[in-house]
Structure 1
C-alpha cells in the first residue's frame, strides 16, 4: 500500500512539473520573430536535388532528373560568404547510343559556387545560386572550357 502511495505521489509531481514547464511564460517576454538577416547562417549552403543543404560536399549531382552529370571527389579549398572553390571530377554520361546504354567519362574540373541568395524554401538560409565549371583539359564534346549554370531554388 505504501509503495502505491509513493508511486502515485511521484507520478503527480512529475505531471505537475511537466505542466508547469509547458505552460510557464518565458522570462524574456513575449516572443518576437528575429529578422531573417539575424537568423541567416554564417556561410551559404549548397542545396542538392532532394532539397538537403550541405557545406563542402564530397559529391554533388548536377543533372537531378537522370543523374547523367555529377561532381565527385570534391576537395574544397575555400568556402566563404561570397564564393566557394573546389577541385574535383565531373562524371558525364555520353548517352551513346542512348543514356541508359551510355558510358560515364571522367573530366577534371574546377568548381566555383557564387551569387549567394536567400533560399525560397527557407528564406533564413543563404544558398549559392550559381555554379561555374572550368575544364583545364579534356571536357565533354558539347561543353565549352567554362560552363555556368543557375542552381535550383
Structure 2
C-alpha cells in the first residue's frame, strides 16, 4: 500500500494589478475625452456665432445716420430674425407685429414692445424727428430679441 498523498491547500492567484487598466476602462476614458472635446468644440462654435451676430447687429445699426434710419434698421433686423421663428412673421403689421415681438423667449418682463419703448418700431422709421433717447431705450430690447431669435 502506498502512503497517502499529502494534499496542499488551494492557493488563490494574486489580485490583478490596478495598472494597466483593462481595455474597457481605456474605451471609457477615450469616450469621455471625445465627449469633452465635442462639447468644447460646440461651446466655442456657439460663442463665436453669437459674437458674429452681435457684431452684425452693431455694425448694421452703426450705419444709420439719423435716429429714424436707426429705427428702420432695427425693424429690418428684427424682421429678418423673426423669419427664423415663423416664416410669415416678417409680414405682420401694427400691433400684431409688436405682439409677436413680445412673445415668449425674451428676458424682458411684460409687453415691452406693445406698450413700452418698442412702440417706436411702428412709426419711428417714418417720422421726421425721432428723439435719440427713444432709440437708445429701444436698441437694447431689439438687440436682445435679435440675438435670442438668431441663435
TM-score, normalised via structure 1 length: 0.25
Specify which structure has the higher proportion of strand. 1
**Bigger Cα Rg:** 2
Higher relative contact order (CA 8 A, sep 6+): 2
